[in-house]
Amino acid sequence: MAKRIVIFASGSGTNAKNIIEYFKTSGQATVVQVLTNKKEAKVLDRCKALDIPGFVFDKEFLNEPKKMGQHLKQLTPDLIVLAGFLLKFPDYLIQVYPNKIINIHPALLPDYGGKGMYGMNVHQAVVANNESYSGITIHYVNEHYDDGGIIFQAKVRLSASDTAQDVAQKIYMLEQMHFPSTIESLLL
């Protein structure tokens, strides 16, 4: 029986789209729903195009066990994937789904993690510090930002002339290459 994946996203949904497409052909798992805290998020358009139900909620709904807790219970996820989800995940859900919630971070943790370290903020910091490498970290979610156990990391060499936008493009390529297969390995 195929495993069930639930994705949380807040933005454009390129990682969500990649995961959905990967598992549509693998047969091992299926994305049963994509949840977002932004009603204007592009991820909803991507879900619609791929025939995956989207669900919009607000911060109050997320933090209310009787609301989000019940909603997720009905979806019976084997894995919850945060793919560009910008709100702090509530402790009560982490307790209900121990080692079943993962996140992708656009840097090599523990560097460039924590509150406020997302998207271009990360890439600008990497460039400002003249780093030779950056990368991605896929990790379990715990009660602290970007602090859960590391599942997988991949790195890419940076050049002195790379802008934050160049770094973002290199990280995007790593995410597209490694996120779905890492999810698949967790579901085996």
The torsion angles phi and psi of 3, rounded to 5 degrees, stand at -70, 155
For residue 87, give the nearest of 111, 103, 66 by alpha carbon.
103
Are the C-beta atoms of 97 and 68 separated by less than 8 Å? no
Measured distance CA(130)–CA(124) in Å, rounded:
10
Backbone angles phi and psi of 155, in degrees to 5: -125, 160
Show which residues are catalytic.
105
Dig out the tokens for 176 from the structure. Answer: 């597209």
Partners of 30 in beta bridges: 4
* Separation of alpha carbons 59 and 110, rounded Å: 27
Among 12, 10, 88, residue whose Cα is nearest residue 46: 12
3-state helix, strand, coil in the chain (%, to 5): 40, 25, 35
DSSP label at 36? E
